[in-house]
Chains A and B, each alone.
Chain A
C-alpha cells in the first residue's frame, strides 16, 4: 500500500506538470526526474506568457507572416462549443440536428483516415506555405500534418474567381480563393463535398456549403480564425465561429518547429479493440 501511495503522489505531481504543459506551459512539454521523461500527448505550443514576447514577423514583401506551424484554429470535438457558441446556438436545420444526434462515432470518415477538412483539421499541426512566383504570391498551400489523407489544400491568390457552379466537382477541400484585407488573409471556399463531418459530434453539412475564413495573426504566438459558415442546405442562417491557433513550439533540442511525416493508413487499427471489422488497413490485424 505504501508503494501505491508513492505512485499516487508521484502521479499527482506529474499530472499537474502535464496539465500545465497542455495549456502551453513554459517548460517545453518535457519534464525530467532522474533522467526519466514524462510524456503528455499533444504537441507543445507557445505559452500565453510568451505569445506577445516577440513582434509579429513579416515576409520580405511586407506581408504579415502567417506561416506557422500552428496548432488550432478549428475544432475536432465540437464546433459549436469550441467556436464560442452556447449549447443549441448552432443554427442547424431540424434534419441536420437529427442526423448529428444519431451519427455514431464508428461511422465517421476520419477514423478511416479520410480528410477532416475545415475547420476540423486545424487542431493538428499545420501551416500556410506561401508560394511566390515572378508574379508575386500566386498560391498558398495549406499543409496539414494529419487530417488531410495526404492531400494538400490550395488557396489561389492570383485573382481568379470560383468556377461557375455548374462546373463544380465537389471535393474534400473545395475551391478556395484568397485575398488580403490589411493584415487579414481572407479565404473564400465553395465546392465542398458533403462527406466530411465538421466534428466528432457528427455536425453535418451539404454541398451548398460556403465558408469564409478570416485569419489574423494577433500576436507572435496566436492567430485568430473568424470562420463564417453559410450552408442553406443544413443551417437556417449563416453563422460565424471564432477559433484561435497557437504557434507550435520549436523542438527543444533542434530549435525547429516544423511539420513531420504522418501516414494515417500505415497501421490504422481503429475499431478492432471494440470488435469492429473491416476498418483500417493495418499490418497488425491478427494481433
Chain B
C-alpha cells in the first residue's frame, strides 16, 4: 500500500515533468532501471546542454562508483531559483533516478536531497513519461 502511494507520487512527478527536453528519454535511459542511492557529490557541473551532478556511491563491497546524473539545462534550473550555493562538492546526498541503457551509472536524475533532510528534495524531475509530455497549452 505504501509502495503504492510512492508509485502514485512518482507518477505525479512524471506529470509534473519537464515540458521541454533536449532529447527523448528512451534513447538514453532505461525506465526499468530505477535506482535509489546515497553518496557524496564530487562535482556540480553547470554545463550545457544539460547540467550534471557527479556523485560517489559506495557499493556493498566497498567499491566506489562515480554516478553521472543528468538534469535539465542550467538556464531552466537558474530560472526556477536554484543557484550555485544550493548543492556543492562534498555534500552528502540521497538521490533517485534511472540508469543508462548501457552505461548504468550515467543516469537521469529524478530526485535529490541532502542526506540529513532526505524528505526535502532539492530537485525533482520527471522520468520517461514526463520527458515525452506535450507542451502546455493555454
**Contact check: which of A5, A21, A34, A284 meets B5 at CB < 8 Å?**
A5
Judged by a CB distance under 8 angstroms, whether B86 is at the interface is: yes
Contacts of B68 in A (CB 8 A): 269, 284, 287
Contacts of B121 in A (CB 8 A): 10-11, 14, 36, 38
Q: A246–B6 contact, CB under 8 A?
A: no
Judged by a CB distance under 8 angstroms, whether A51 is at the interface is: yes
Judged by a CB distance under 8 angstroms, whether B64 is at the interface is: no
Report how far A78 CA is from B135 CA in the complex, Å: 10
Q: A29–B80 contact, CB under 8 A?
A: yes
Q: A123–B15 contact, CB under 8 A?
A: no
Q: Which of B104-138 contact A (CB under 8 A)?
A: 106-108, 111, 113, 117-126, 132, 134-138
Stretch binding the partner chain, chosen from A69-77, A126-134, A154-162: A69-77
Contacts of A276 in B (CB 8 A): 27
Contacts of A36 in B (CB 8 A): 113, 117, 120-122
Which 8 pairs from chain A and chain B are nearest by CB? A273-B100, A275-B102, A15-B12, A41-B18, A41-B72, A273-B106, A18-B16, A30-B81
Q: A274–B16 contact, CB under 8 A?
A: no
Q: Which residue of B lies closest to A35 (CB)?
A: B120
Q: B76–A42 contact, CB under 8 A?
A: yes
Q: A7–B118 contact, CB under 8 A?
A: yes
Contact-residue size bin, chain A (C-beta under 8 Å from the other chain): 35 or more
Q: A200–B78 contact, CB under 8 A?
A: no
CB distance from B69 to the nearest CB of A (A): 10
With A6-B119, A34-B120, A266-B47 already in contact, the answer to whether A76 and B135 are too (CB < 8 A) is yes
Contacts of A252 in B (CB 8 A): 81
Report how far A10 CA is from B70 CA in the complex, Å: 23
Q: B106–A269 contact, CB under 8 A?
A: yes
Q: A273–B101 contact, CB under 8 A?
A: yes
Report how far A77 CA is from B17 CA in the complex, Å: 14
Report how far A222 CA is from B45 CA in the complex, Å: 34
Judged by a CB distance under 8 angstroms, whether A43 is at the interface is: yes
Q: A12–B8 contact, CB under 8 A?
A: yes
Q: Which residue of B lies closest to A44 (CB)?
A: B79
Stretch binding the partner chain, chosen from A56-64, A104-112, A163-171, A229-237: A104-112
With A7-B6, A15-B15, A222-B138 already in contact, the answer to whether A271 and B28 are too (CB < 8 A) is yes
With A82-B135, A270-B28 already in contact, the answer to whether A37 and B81 are too (CB < 8 A) is yes
Judged by a CB distance under 8 angstroms, whether A115 is at the interface is: no
Contacts of B136 in A (CB 8 A): 22-24, 45, 72, 246
Contacts of A7 in B (CB 8 A): 6, 9, 118-119
Judged by a CB distance under 8 angstroms, whether B38 is at the interface is: no
Q: Which residue of B lies closest to A7 (CB)?
A: B119
Contacts of B125 in A (CB 8 A): 39-41
Judged by a CB distance under 8 angstroms, whether A216 is at the interface is: no
Report how far A14 CA is from B13 CA in the complex, Å: 8
| Contact string against B for A residues 82-119, beta-carbon threshold 8 Å, 1 for contact and 0 otherwise | 10000000000000000000001110101101000000
Q: B5–A267 contact, CB under 8 A?
A: no
Q: B48–A263 contact, CB under 8 A?
A: yes
With A36-B121, A270-B28 already in contact, the answer to whether A275 and B101 are too (CB < 8 A) is yes
Report how far A222 CA is from B16 CA in the complex, Å: 22
